[in-house]
Amino acid sequence: MYQVRWPDGPVCPNCFQTNVHFLDLRKIRTCRKCKKQFSLTSGTDLHGIHRGLRFYFGLAEEIIQYRQRGAMLTLRELQDNHGMAYATAIRIRKKLTEDLAKFHGGLLGRCICVDFPNLPPDMVFGSESHLLHLEGEMQRRRWKAHGIE
């Protein structure tokens, strides 16, 4: 995630300087010019999260899988499957869908693969036919990248 957000090294979100110091104990960075402290998620939709990045990556994956099937993860499913209040489910789903809808998928979308081929409506996700379909699609993409197709 670090390489995705800052491919050329960390940049202060306040003054855009690259001269920063990493505080290992607190896992935050401090700008040497303006003295502002910031983290990997500062200034992103993931700033101030309480459940950890792994939880949000899992939810993003669920949302992407639902969208692949032409559906949307309901708030009740989100609430029941992950043990959260309904208001929290609203806020988290909104935050994740907005991040994934950004150009190039936002910070989460750039860290995970969001460019899945569309599945036929009669195909079951995770089935053998689904895996064969994905394998064929990946081969076509490799050929296209080499100019064969």
pLDDT along the chain (149 residues), means of 10: 76 87 82 87 72 80 80 87 89 83 71 61 72 74 69
Domain holding 137, by residue range, is: 120-149
Look at residue 92 in the predicted model and tell me its pLDDT. 86
How much is the pLDDT for 102? 75
Quote the CA–CA distance of 33 and 76 in Å, as a whole number. 47
Residue 48 forms part of a structural domain: no
Q: Is residue 45 in some structural domain?
A: no
One domain, residues 61 and 107 = yes
pLDDT of residue 115: 54
Does 126 map to a domain?
yes
